[in-house]
Amino acid sequence: MTYDLFIGDRLFSSWSMRGWLMLEKFGLPYRTHLIGLYSGTMAADMEPLAPARLVPALRLPDGTVVGESLAMAETLAERHPEARLWPSEPAARATARWLCAEMVAGFTALREQCPMQLKYRWEGFSPSPDTLADLQRIETLWAHARKISGAASGPLFGTYSLADVFYTPIAARIIGYGLPVSEANRAYCMDLLSDVFVRQWRAMGMTVAYEPFPYAQDLPAQSWPIGGEAKAMAVSTGPSINAMCPYSGKPVKDFLELDGQIWGFCNPFCRDKSVADPEAWPKFAAMIHSVNDS
C-alpha cells in the first residue's frame, strides 16, 4: 500500500509541507511527485489529478485522488488508526481537529504578509496589526490546547499529532520573520523546526536555486537557525572515503567536502541535500561516525 503525494516547492509551499509530514512523521509509505509551482508547469502537472487543482494532493493506492490538506488528514487517520495521527483522548482529539480547521480557514493576514520561506531569518520585519491579531489568536489556541492536554511543553497534545503538523509552517513564519510570541511558544516553534524530518524537508528544498528569490524582503537576513550554517560544500572530484552512497548503496559519482573529508553520493540530489544540512541525515551521520570513531 503506497500513496502518491503531489507537492510544490519545498522552501515555500507550506501546504505541501503539511501533506508530507502527515506521511513521513507517521511512517506511512508514499512516493513524492513535484508540481512546478514556479516553473510554469503547474496546470499541466495537475491535469491527471483533476478536479484537484492545488498542492498537496494525495492519490490513494486504488487511484482515488484526495485534494485539500484537511481531507487528506482525515482520510489517512481513518485508514491508519494504528498510526494515531489524532490524539487518542476524545477531548484532545476534538480540540486538535478544531485547531487544524481554524488553521485551514483562518490567519489570512499572517499568511499573506509572511509567506513561508525556509532560507532566511529576516531582521526588522514589521507585522501589520492584522498579523499581530492572528498571532494573538494562535497563541490563544495553543494555550487552550495545552490546557486540554496538560502538556506544558513539546507537542501541543503531549504526543505529536496532526495539530503539530498543521502548525509547523506557522512556526516557520514566526521564526523566519522574527514575529513576536511568548518565549514558551517560541521554544515550541523551535522544537517543531528542529525535528529531523522538517530539517530534511528544508534540506531537500535547498537543492533548488531561485533567481530571483521568491518573497524576498528588503531587510537584513540571517541564516536559518537550524542547519542553516553551511558546514559542507560540493566539490567536483574525489576520491571519497566511501565507495557507496549512504542513502542508495549505489556507487558514488558526486562529492562533498565536510571538515576536510571527501564523501561521495550516487547523484547530485543526494549530495546537495547533504551539503544543505549534513546533520539532518542519520544514514550519512552514521557513516561519518563509523569512519571517524574507528
pLDDT of 185 reads: 98
242 and 192 in one domain? no
pLDDT of 53 reads: 94
Which parts of the chain sit beneath pLDDT 70? Answer: none
pTM of the complete model: 0.97
279 and 191 in one domain? no
Number of domains in the chain: 3
Span 14-52, pLDDT tens digits: 999 999 999 999 999 999 999 999 888 999 999 999 999
Span 49-88, pLDDT tens digits: 999 999 999 999 999 999 999 999 999 999 999 999 999 9
pLDDT of 294 reads: 72
101 and 172 in one domain? yes
What DSSP line would sit under the chain, residue for residue? --EEEEE--TTT-HHHHHHHHHHHTTT--EEEEE--TTTT-HHHHHGGGTT--SS-EEE-TTS-EEESHHHHHHHHHHH-GGG--S-SSHHHHHHHHHHHHHHHH--HHHHHHS---SSEEESS----HHHHHHHHHHHHHHHHHHHHH---SSSTTSS--HHHHHHHHHHHHHHHTT----HHHHHHHHHHHHSHHHHHHHHHHTTS--SSPTT--SS-EEE-TTT-S--EEEES----S-SB-TTT-PBP-EEEEETTEEEEESSHHHHHHHHH-GGG-HHHHHHHHHHHT-
Domain finish residue from 83, 102, 124: 83
pLDDT of 278 reads: 96
100 and 78 in one domain? no
Domain of residue 240: give its range. 230-292
